[in-house]
Amino acid sequence: MQGKRVLVTGGAGFIGSNLANHLAADNDVVAVDDCYLGTPENLGDAVEFRDASVLDDDLPTEGVDILFHLAALSSYQMHEDEPVRGARVNVEGFVNTVEQAREDGCDTVVYASTSSIYGDRTEPSPEDMDVEARTGYEASKLARERYGEYFSYHYDMSMAGMRFFSVYEGFGGSEEHKGEFANLIAQFADDIANGEPPVIYGDGTQTRDFTHVDDVVRGLELAGDHELDGIYNLGTGESYSTNTLVERLNEELGTDVEPEYVENPIPEKVYVHDTMADSSKMKEATGWEPEVSFEEGLARVCSQYE
């Protein structure tokens, strides 16, 4: 992608800042963030930062060629604590931003959805399988997908909804500001490196398809370049248990820190125990494949502690 005017909402957040910094090398990038969870310190000098909410009526959409909409309340607990705010930011904020971009002539949108809606899956999850909303967070992301269909059908816009799988980078990247909301890899690596036991919910057999943010950024850029429409998975197609994660981090860090097992505070009926992506649709559409292996990703995360 080159020579484009790009708007990234949630642009000071974890994934958003990685995307904004990457695209700013060859494009005119403006990042919008209300700093609820993001921090402008994540952004390089080449990115224009605007402190604004996706609920505002004067977003900087003029002249924008591609909108990357990543802004969201991004966890189960955030939506339980403030369900109305969650709906406003994740659903109304999405419609508000896309509508302003559309009115200013932008017809290409790439936006964040979630893999949580697949529920428990030890087999790869394809985009066309049945999904359901069991939490407010999942409901808000499914609502986005439905509004994406509306904008695509009614206005002939390219609306690519990207279902992310456990995206990580580590506290040495842009995850540190997220604290308890950061990916388990970042949290556990920091705990173990500092000699503190990582806290595991349940027995540690739950699995995740851990996907490095560099691969996700490439996927987002390709989705914009190809003006994709519809829903696409971004994941590795491999899953690792929480127990395995702790073992591998100890090996990488040269430590021997035992985890602490606690009762899962998230109700069992809504807790997603296993995830794994089927990203063949994205590969067929763009050629995208994950390039950062689990081993290499852990090495990158742990390298800051050397």
Active site residues: 137
For residue 160, which of 227, 93, 61 has the smallest C-alpha distance? 227
Are residues 4 and 27 in contact, defined by beta-carbon separation less than 8 angstroms? yes
Are residues 280 and 232 in contact, defined by beta-carbon separation less than 8 angstroms? no
Residues 6+ positions from 74 with CB-CB distance below 8 Å: 13, 37, 137, 181
Cα(232)–Cα(163) distance, rounded to whole angstroms? 6
- Rounded to the nearest 10°, the torsion over CA 100, 162, 283, 301 is 120
245 CB-contact burial (10 Å; exposed 0-12 / middle 13-18 / buried 19+): buried
For residue 112, which of 23, 24, 13 has the smallest C-alpha distance? 13
Backbone angles phi, psi at 42, to 5 degrees: -75, -15
Q: Which residues pair with 8 in a beta bridge?
A: 31, 68
Q: Where are the alpha helices (DSSP H) in the chain?
A: 14-23, 76-81, 83-87, 93-103, 136-155, 184-193, 213-225, 242-253, 280-286, 294-303
Cα-based angle 162, 166, 167 (whole degrees, multiple of 5):
75
> Starting at the edge strand that comes first in sequence, how are the strands of the sheet with 5-9 ordered?
48-51, 28-33, 5-9, 66-69, 108-114, 158-164, 230-234
